[in-house]
Chain A
Amino acid sequence: MSAPLREDNPLLTVRDLTVRFDTEDGIVNAVSDLSYDLFAGETLAIMGESGSGKSVSAQALMGLVPMPPGRIEKGSISFVGQELVGLEENDWTNLRGEEIAMIFQDPLTSLNPVFPVGWQIGETFRLHRTIGRREAMRKAAELMDRVGIPNAGKRARQFPHQFSGGMRQRLMIAMALALEPKILIADEPTTALDVTVQAQIMDLLADLQRDTGMALILITHDLGVVASVADRVLVMYAGRAVETGRAGDFYARPGHPYAQGLMGSVPRLLSDTDRLLPIPGHPPSVVQLPTGCSFHPRCALADDHCRTSRPDLTVYGDGSRQVACFKAETPAALRNQP
């Protein structure tokens, strides 16, 4: 890695993480050689298209990669000094919810339909603490109040189907925050929600993060959602990190042609361009990745070098930013943004 981003030790250190799935079609390289650090209190946005490995990399942090067919080929995940790769299921059970928690993409199916929501939020306490039913329910109502659910005491007795999508995502957040985990992983937390509700949920997450000092990993394919909350971004393509850096730098000048393409395909209000620029082609097959740089078939700058050898993440600019592209230094790559 490059010059240290911060003085303190990271909460989470991921090094060379490689996750593969054995399928009937062949071996799927879901995540390859992924490395990053996560510090307390910061928000890391992991971005990429479907199949880019962003969700699998998050599952690996929770020990939730289904094995088989999945397996962690190599690499390490270190959480405050504790190695998570190869951890026993019992140790995972203690860690999940307590230290690292996760909220999922679809709040509509993330709640058990047969139990009152307060019961389910209280379940987190009962899993990790010796606590009575009433006490768990009371704490659940407090949490619901904290994530902005009005009339929380009464609504704690209601069932998931009596809540709207946005409210259910608030419930999921309440559940994940119950034990004040050090890391919260949000896997596309707003994808299933209305645009206005999306903004509310992002604001809520940012508020809660400020209050608790937890680190937040936001997994998304939507650059707009994270623009205002992310401290750092990590762009994944075909299972690999292709760019990482501070959010401000990234949004101002994305370095990797793929990241530029992503930016070009986002509609903007204050822009004189009258059409969006989609990235040509399709994401590569995860079973058979292209040789060299995985992005070369879709890249306007690709030459023979790109087609035969794969670029590694290379420090670029002031040292906070790394880009995996041979062309990153060429002015054209950085400025051809229309």
Chain B
Amino acid sequence: MRGSTRVFVMTELTDALAPENAEGGGGGRGSSNVDLATDDTKRTHLRDAWRLLRRRPIFWVAAFLIAVFVSMTIVPQLFTAIAPGEGNPSGEFCFLADSRQGPSADHWFGTDVQGCDYYTQVTYGARISLRVALGATAITLTIGILLGSLAGYYSGFIDTLISRLIDGFLALPYLVAAIIVLSVLASNAGRNEWHVMAAIGALGWPAVVRLYRASVLQVKSLEYVQAAKALGASDARILARHVLPNALAPVLVEATTGMGVVISVEATLTFFGVGLPLDSASWGIMIAEATGRFENSPHLLLFPGAYLFFGTLGFIIMGELLREALDPRLR
């Protein structure tokens, strides 16, 4: 090595390193006797987080809530024998005469305006609410992390541009903007849940960008980012490998919380008639329809409201627990 010209050509490395190591090991330690740990002692970051999480009862509560709601979206048949739009398990139609009955042994949550089993309606409502929430959150996170990385890592012009863009978006009245976007995207008849996801996602990212940008600013000044750079890591790799895992936590919490917010935003938009088509069974539509009848039939509001509450709660608790478990500095 001493005084030699640049011998480090990519393909020559293996040849170049081998004698180098032998020479370096002249101090007594041979390099061949170093064995990697066996698999049973292997500790990974996620495994550590899992060990920490599973000891906490509250984790299981949140996991249970989320599991219930996720399985409701996948196999609602597990929860109710009645199909939506039917009056009872034998498949008969709903009778208007049964309209707005209170909870009973036959109909645990009572019946809705059409006289259909409300428990079935609310259970099936999980499907569309969660789907919209997941889709919109995914869009928000993708845009938020991309723009947040750019703004936080490359300060200067690009940061100014994105920050002013955010200011502009935040100045928009959210609901009015969403209504306009949805009206422009599709006519009332042609609108479906994808449009709602896109509209909520396209308007929700500024908050994520701000949060992520702040995290990136904090993380990028840390020495390990400089160290990675000094070892020849490219910007893209630094952002993906060193910045993302360390800056993601607050955004993750925000996004989990945001799931609940999206469900209610979707409900609001639907209430205004620009959200989901009225024939879809979302909690938003149910709550919207129930508000006018609250005095006579409170169960119409309370049951979807309770589902919404517990579903959101599950995600919020889970977000918080994940943050604690994934952040090694809090250990």
Interface residues of A (CB under 8 A from B): 8, 40-41, 62, 64, 68, 80, 89, 92-99, 101-106, 109-116, 123-124, 127-130, 134, 137-138, 141-142, 145-146, 152-154, 156-159, 161, 172, 175-176, 178-180, 207-208, 211-214
Contact = CB atoms under 8 A, between A and B. Distances in A.
B27 A114 contact: no
Contacts of B1: 180, 212-214
A154 B36 CA distance: 6
A134 to B, nearest CB: 8
Contact of A64 (B13, B20, B229): B229
B233 A98 contact: no
B331 interface: yes
The size class of the interface chain B forms with chain A is 35 or more
Interface in B2-52: 2-3, 5-6, 8, 10, 13, 17, 20-21, 23-27, 29, 31, 34-37, 41-45, 48
Contacts of B89: none
Contacts of A111: 224, 227
A112 B224 contact: yes
Given A96-B230, A98-B8, A211-B23, A156 B29 contact: no
22 contacts: A80-B6, A94-B232, A96-B229, A96-B232, A101-B230, A114-B245, A114-B326, A115-B241, A116-B45, A127-B231, A127-B233, A127-B234, A146-B24, A153-B37, A157-B42, A159-B45, A161-B331, A179-B8, A211-B26, A211-B27, A212-B20, A213-B3
B34 A114 contact: no
B246 interface: yes
A109 B27 CA distance: 30
B329 A180 contact: no
B45 A112 contact: no
Contacts of B29: 145-146
Contact of B36 (A8, A92, A141, A212): A141
Given A40-B2, A146-B29, A123 B34 contact: no
Interface in B228-278: 228-235, 237, 241-242, 245-246
B231 to A, nearest CB: 4
